[in-house]
A and B are shown apart, each in its own frame.
Chain A
Amino acid sequence: MYAVEYQKAKSAADASGLIAKSGGRALAGGQSLIGAMKLRLAQPGTLVDLAGIPELAGIRVESGTLSIGAMTRHADVAGSADVKRTIPALAALAEGIGDRQVRNMGTIGGSLANNDPAADWPAAVLALGATVITHQRRIGASDFFKGMYETALAADEIITAVSFPVPRKAAYVKFPNPASRFALVGVFVAQLADGSARVAVTGAAPSVFRAASVEAALAKAFTPDAAKAAHVDAAGLSSDLHASAAYRAHLIPVIAARAVAAA
């Protein structure tokens, strides 16, 4: 790790100011950022620690939405009775992130700001049409994810919470990379309150995306067979050591079908 300065923020606005002033980066749980710094792949001159900021904490259920504070750890989402009651798919997703030790440190806000192409949270946010709330504004899911490790966030913008509309039903199934256990293909399916079907895929492309053909199939019938029969084109999908684009294209409807069955 390269040398780094460390500051602790008192509020989201304070954090934003410290980042703007130092040109540094926000430190949430650090489960991706510290790893990248250890390998000398990231070199923020300053880390602004968001831990302990009250406005970033807490899980709230309000008229048809579930709001999760940005610094909520994955393990706490997984264990939350409110989450299990309103959108159990999110608790299950959180329980499958990384491993237990990572879930005890990693946060939803950190994961979304990082936007790893194989992260799990982006699939939930995109499929459910969630709103990412920052200390300055509200960003719709469809506007938030911009590409590999890229989001709509400004450099000094701090996510404070994510607001999920409660769907009729939803589920996430991850097909893991055998080595990293990140999603080789992760599919979040949802039938929203208005009855529409949404399918978001992570791990398969440079950034999370909606699988239009699977959505179209599920719009006709929200059944595993319908999902499985959908065709996904391999063009634009990732190809690497662990999976060709064709294999990922094949897996998406298969995994979507399993998610529909679990929803």
Chain B
Amino acid sequence: MGIAISMTVNGAAVSAEIDPRTLLVDFLRVNLGLTGTHVGCDTAQCGACTIHLDGRAVKSCNVLALQANGARVTTIEGLAGSGELHPMQAAFKECHGLQCGFCTPGMVMSAIDLVQRHPNADEATIRAQLEGNLCRCTGYHNIVKAVQQGAAAMSR
């Protein structure tokens, strides 16, 4: 029942034999120990599991690991280079865009994808484009500020 799979995760080549029903999020969390990607729901709505698959934000709880075979995956652990926070991570800290931190990895991964597609997004666009990420703590106010600040920093 095991199927061979290989992909690049945060720049490192990984391979494994997996049960075909393994979700990408479980592959990341269980097989690779990358527990920064979280699971908050079972209907692919909360977005806590958001990662980048070949550079695009997807919900890793709603993708089979096999669908990422041969792909390039980036998780929250792969953002900060040698100790320095990614500009979006830094903006979340600066703007207090996180409280309990559980939705945060998915929110940050989603925000980076958002900015890549909408570099000059206004508040309404940011709010609309965050539709796929639920946060129960912040009320989104500071997340929106963080995305704006992160977008500005990413364009520099």
Contact = CB atoms under 8 A, between A and B. Distances in A.
Do chains A and B directly touch (beta carbons under 8 Å) in the complex? Answer: yes
A35 B62 contact: yes
B93 interface: no
Contact of B110 (A27, A31, A47, A100): A100
B139 interface: no
Interface in B18-71: 19-21, 23, 42-45, 47, 50, 53, 56-59, 61-64, 66-67
Nearest to B51: A101
Given A3-B1, A30-B63, A49-B66, A104 B56 contact: yes
A1 B57 contact: no
B131 A39 contact: no
Contacts of A27: 64, 67
B132 A2 contact: no
B13 interface: no
B3 interface: yes
B6 to A, nearest CB: 14
B103 interface: no
A98 interface: yes
B47 to A, nearest CB: 6
7 contacts: A31-B62, A38-B61, A98-B132, A99-B133, A104-B56, A105-B63, A180-B45
Interface of B: 1, 3, 19-21, 23, 42-45, 47, 50, 53, 56-59, 61-64, 66-67, 110, 113-114, 117, 129, 131-133
Interface of A: 1-6, 27, 30-31, 34-35, 37-39, 47, 49, 51, 75, 79, 98-102, 104-105, 180-181
